[in-house]
Chain A
Amino acid sequence: MSDPGSISIRDAFAGRHVLLTGASGFVGKVWLAMMLERAPEIGRIHVLLRSKSLLSARDRFEKIVNTSPVFGPLHERMGARLSQYIAEKVEVLEGELGASDLLLDVDSRRRLQRQLDLVVHCAGLVDFNPDLRKALASNVDGTLHVADFVEGCDHAALLHISTCYVAGKRHGHIEESLLPEYAPSARDFDAERELRDARAAAARICAQHESREHAAKTRAEIEALVRKRRSGDRAKLITTLTNRRLREELKQALIDEGMQRARRLGWPNTYTYTKSLAESLLQRRGNRVRLSVLRPSIVESAIEYPFPGWNESFNGSAPLAYVMGSWFRMIPARPDAPFDVIPVDMVCKAMSIAGAALLRDRCAPVYHIGTSDRHRCSVGRAAELIVLAHRRHYRQSGQSTGERVLKSRWDSVLVEPDAAFAVQRNRALVGGAREVIDLLPDKVQLKLRRLSDRLDRADKKLEQIEAMIELYLPFMYESFHVFECKAIGRTPAHEPEFRFEPEVIDWRRYWLEVHIPGLRRWAFPLIEGRKPERYRPRHPVRFAPVVVSNAEVGCGAPADLPPDVIRVAAHPGVSEA
């Protein structure tokens, strides 16, 4: 017998219209595929995508559906019928969250505002340290524009996807609540003022770096450098190098500004700072927006949907796991701290539950979606399991004897940040060796060229590891978070395939057989700059612009929809070329 307080996801979404942002992202894609496969009663999902390079939103969506392994199960199940199904269930809208009107034309906007029941806002910049301008535009302005749009809707609610780590540098039990004007280390924090100041700071940095004086000074420096190293005047090279350096300096200055602001206020990075800012500003809207904030912790490989191990996030544990599989062994971390990872499909199930609760007016203001409260895995255990997974991989599939015999036993260990062989000391050693070579006579230096090249490469790698460790230290060493995860349990899903049950995760099996092999297959290639495998369906979905009449737009379609409106629809029955 089902729980009397349970909620049927299929019933709640039946016939409903949902707008989804961030459908090209890790979480958005899985949720879209999951809803299409497991809740076919849904009215329609309107996917807001921006065009990119030469690809229109429609082409991008087509590419996503036809190449991403996420849609594999749907392809396998529906075959040639998928085009027809997607035509019925998905509308792709070209838009831009950075624009206040989302770049939707007036008619589409009005139609959507009448039709929509729910807006799921997944879009955002998930880099830990992006440039401040981009982070503000994506994570704050984008969210506010979506909220503006929802305010204009007849009856739509907003499910905003944020992160547990908006809590910042706080310790202990973190409740599921939306604190007004929240900043972990600041009193009398005013989110509006902070946003203004941050924008002004970003504008000031841009003005400084884009000034003529700065450009002239940089050019002079580059000219001097080029002349010193090469003979003759190379105007084109100088211009290219100057522009590159100006761009890099501007980007770095904006990254630094974001990180400084975040850390001053008590957040570990620009991502959590801008996400929290957006939450505070959303909360200011009070009852004008029916809102739930869903905060996943570290989103990791799927446990079962679309298939075990699916992952394309390289902001979670992927870089850390990657480093732990290298020759570098010393990872600064606090073994007893919770390492709150949650499989992406569990996050998507929780999104469906929270969305259904919003549709049924049974929602909570905030949902924490993590494991630290209900089924904890510590940093120490996670690290041990990562090491054991690498060990198993190298032992069974090592490319060389060195990998099978030595690397498989080269286990990483957790240390204090100031340990004897911590990354900074390794770098100092490499730097020292480099300096010694520089002091040698030129003839000897020439002979040692291969060694010095190796040292340079090692230093570069260590520098990357050092930067990565700096980004991860707040999560693995400096904080001890336990994110309360109760709200989602108050409206359990009626359907087993939507149940949120982190307690069922067998951590050993998850890390050894699902997550790390998943990262190895899908995320490590991204870190290494390689392309991961792509899915090739037997019957690719093909889109064609279709002129639709008002009647075809479906339930809730406005009567005044112009007959020549072009809506993107799948063209059914197109087989593989």
Chain B
Amino acid sequence: MDVTKTAVFLRVEGALVAQGACFAAAYFAANRAGFAERALKLGQVAVTAPFYSLLGQSDRVLANRLAYLPLRGMSEDRVAELAEEYFDGVLRERVLHGGTELLREARRTGHRVVLICDGLREIVEPLVAHLRFVDDYVCNRLEYRDGHATGKLLEPVVGGHDSAAWVRRYAAEHRIDLLRSVVYAAHGPDLLLLSAVGKPCAVNPDFTLRRAARQADWPILDYDV
């Protein structure tokens, strides 16, 4: 008998945590080894931040690439340690209760829980361990050469319109019925991702997504960010 499963795909940024890639990059930059390096890289983050915001609505892939550039030259050891620190000191307290409840409910109703995250693997791993009920996740990975970050992200870069294609591939590999599956997302560029499933839901949507969700008659969830 051909048994298909269902899944809940949740875009982490906006639906589960309020902090995005730029915030994480600023934390990493502020905690580099040398004081001069810290100042320089923080400056770089400050310069890229407006571009990140602007590109966030059109090209999230490029925005993410820009956001993680200041990590160039940082050792893999430091990235791992700072990521753990960032999760413990910043992110853990800011995981949105509403998002966690959505995931808990998804698990209770027998859905496979999958996270789609712009964040780095080093940050997402402790988040996933903290949530405990995540089956799978996809996130961004830094490129390292000789133990140091090059500042580039490895392909495929998560965040853009490719997320929808990724969801379809994932569904095919895991025999998931997309028509009965759910996507929770918060930003305009996630429209294609939301359209890929039968049960899209806009969570804390930005202006673009809210308008689109209303037009498409998708449910909208708002909880405190």
Contact = CB atoms under 8 A, between A and B. Distances in A.
A508 B79 CA distance: 12
Max chain A Cβ within 10 angstroms of own Cβ: one of B31, B81, B147: B81
A379 to B, nearest CB: 13
Max chain B Cβ within 10 angstroms of own Cβ: one of A380, A411, A508: A411
Contacts of A512: 81
A392 B85 CA distance: 8
A388 B81 contact: yes
Given A381-B147, A395-B85, A388 B31 contact: no
Interface in A254-310: none
A381 B147 CA distance: 9
Contacts of B85: 391-392, 395
Nearest to B75: A384
A409 interface: yes
B31 A413 contact: no
B34 A384 contact: no
Interface string A410-439: 011100000000000000000000000000
A385 B33 contact: no
Nearest to B30: A409
B220 to A, nearest CB: 40
B81 A413 contact: no
Interface in A359-397: 380-381, 384-385, 387-388, 391-392, 395
Interface in A436-479: none
Max chain A Cβ within 10 angstroms of own Cβ: one of B33, B34, B89, B147: B33
Contacts of B34: 411, 413
Interface in B102-143: none
Interface in B67-112: 75, 77-78, 80-81, 85, 89
B33 A508 contact: no
Contacts of A413: 33-34
Given A381-B147, A395-B85, A411 B33 contact: yes
Nearest to B81: A388
A387 B33 contact: yes
Contact of B78 (A388, A395, A409): A388
B77 A385 contact: yes
A389 to B, nearest CB: 9
Contacts of B80: 508
Interface in B13-41: 31, 33-34
B33 A384 contact: yes
A90 to B, nearest CB: 43
Contacts of A381: 75, 77, 147
A508 B80 CA distance: 10
Contacts of A391: 81, 85
Contact of A508 (B31, B77, B89): B77
A487 B77 CA distance: 32
A568 B77 CA distance: 51
B81 A392 contact: yes
A391 B84 CA distance: 12
Contact of A409 (B31, B77, B81, B147): B31
Interface string A473-516: 00000000000000000000000000000000000100010000
Nearest to B34: A413
Contacts of B78: 384, 388
Nearest to A415: B34
Interface string A512-532: 100000000000000000000
B122 to A, nearest CB: 12
A385 B85 CA distance: 15
A381 B148 CA distance: 10
B80 to A, nearest CB: 7
Contacts of B89: 395
A342 B85 CA distance: 28
B129 to A, nearest CB: 16
Contacts of B81: 388, 391-392, 512
Contacts of B31: 409
Nearest to A412: B33
Nearest to A378: B147
Contact of B77 (A384, A395, A411, A412): A384
Contacts of A384: 33, 75, 77-78
Nearest to B31: A409
Interface string A133-150: 000000000000000000
3 closest Cβ pairs, A-B complex: A388-B81, A411-B33, A413-B34
Given A392-B81, A412-B33, 13 more contacts: A381-B75, A381-B77, A381-B147, A384-B33, A384-B77, A388-B77, A388-B81, A391-B81, A395-B85, A411-B33, A413-B33, A413-B34, A512-B81
Interface of B: 31, 33-34, 75, 77-78, 80-81, 85, 89, 147
15 contacts: A380-B75, A381-B75, A384-B33, A384-B75, A384-B77, A384-B78, A387-B33, A388-B81, A391-B81, A395-B85, A395-B89, A409-B31, A413-B34, A508-B77, A508-B80
